[in-house]
Amino acid sequence: MTEETPRPRPAPRGDLHTQFAVLPDPVTLFARRADRFAARAEGHELAPYLRFMAGIAQAQAALLPTLPPLAPVTAVTAEQAARAAEHAARAAEHGMPPIDRVRLADDPALTETISRFLQIVVAIPMPDPAAAALARLRADPAAQRQRLADALEDAVAADAIAEHVFIAAALQLHAARLAALLQADLLQPVGTGVCPACGGAPVACVLVDRPGAHNARYCVCATCATQWNAVRVTCVLCGATEGIAYHHIEGSDDGVAAETCNACQGYVKLLSQAEHPELDPMADDVASLGLDLLLQDAGWRRGAVNPFLTGY
Ligand SMILES: [Zn+2]
Ligand SMILES: [Zn+2]
């Protein structure tokens, strides 16, 4: 592992116009992620797991067009549109994310998405322990509710890791659809390392290459995939600006590094999409598990959340 301290880099261009939040596009998000998991599986020591993850993302993408439109955020009438905008404005005023995780636990549209996801995902190839976990979950609605409660808190019971993957995947699909219906310019910072759309934790950060935001850093929500702008060389876990360093696996040029922080001893991965546009925060986080193992051996604590890497 190679360690570097921050060096001066070209300042991000177009800072004045850098959008604070960028909403996900579920149609491309899951399809591209499926392709990326499949591509990373080639010759990888975790190939069977990465192929299973490609299947999960394919199931997310396949279910998407069959789901009924979401209410009430979907503005069918002018009155509903006004109500949704008012809710978002009120949430922003109080420094709260507009997607309320407490309410999601009882959202019938989410329960329906989970149940349909558990049906569609049966068809994908998966390791035997995952198939057993899926069968247990499908037979037990109470377990589905419990795993959903865990997923909404970005927490998992150690004995339910395999079940968690399926519920977290269904939650991602639902949350990304909800986030896609928000108004990006109404979102405001709600706290260090907290998604301004749903209050979730980041899976990783990306250096993007978008018009007006070349090499700007965005955190990506592990739940709803909303991206929010975060100043470079600042710990996204605790906000410290001193004692930041970057680590990557020696000799590798995969665009994946980890930003470590001396203040909180945590780290979050930083993926350079500016240099490697094909990087997907979820897929490449799982595929770069080797970097986590090196960092954790060296005493650093993983600060990001990834439901597909639970237990590491
Ligand atoms: Zn989110
Ligand atoms: Zn920190």
Distance CA 221, CA 29 (A): 13
Give 136 Cα–ligand 1 centroid separation in angstroms. Answer: 28
158: confidence class by pLDDT, cuts 50, 70, 90: confident
How far the first Cα of the chain sits from its last, in Å, is 18
* Residue 74 pLDDT: 40
Distance CA 105, CA 109 (A): 10
Its domain, for residue 166, covers 26-66+99-181
Residue 160 has pLDDT above 90, yes or no: no
Instruction: Answer yes or no: do 196 and 245 share one domain.
Output: yes
Q: Which ligand is nearest to the CA of 99?
A: 1
Q: What is the CATH number of the domain that holds 55?
A: 3.90.1670.10
| Ion ligand 1 residue ranges (Cβ < 5 Å) | 195, 197-198, 200, 221, 223-224, 226
296 alpha-carbon distance from chain centroid: 21
Give 206 Cα–ligand 1 centroid separation in angstroms. Answer: 15
Contact 306, 300 (CB under 8 A): no
Which of 181, 202, 221 is the last residue in one of the domains?
Answer: 181
Residue 76 included in any domain: no
Contact 110, 148 (CB under 8 A): yes
| Nearest of 199, 219, 198, 196 to residue 207 by alpha carbon | 219
% residues pLDDT > 70 (the chain): 88
pLDDT tens, 10-68?
A: 444 445 567 999 999 999 999 999 999 999 999 999 999 999 999 999 999 999 999 99
**Mean pLDDT to the nearest integer, 113-119:** 97
Contact 216, 208 (CB under 8 A): yes
pLDDT tens, 270-280?
A: 999 999 999 99
Question: What per-residue string of b and e applies to 19-50 under the rule 16 or more CB within 10 Å gives b?
Answer: bebbbbebeebbbbbbbbbbebbeebeeeebb
Q: Which ligand is nearest to the CA of 266?
A: 2
Give 244 Cα–ligand 2 centroid separation in angstroms. Answer: 8
Distance CA 276, CA 215 (A): 12
Instruction: Answer yes or no: do 37 and 164 share one domain.
Output: yes
- Global pTM value: 0.91
Give 160 Cα–ligand 1 centroid separation in angstroms. Answer: 23
Instruction: Answer yes or no: do 248 and 134 share one domain.
Output: no
- Distances 295 to 1, 117, 154, 203, 268 between C-alpha atoms, Å: 8, 34, 21, 16, 11
Give 20 Cα–ligand 1 centroid separation in angstroms. Answer: 14
Residue 199 has pLDDT above 60, yes or no: yes
Give 106 Cα–ligand 1 centroid separation in angstroms. Answer: 18
Residue 82 included in any domain: no
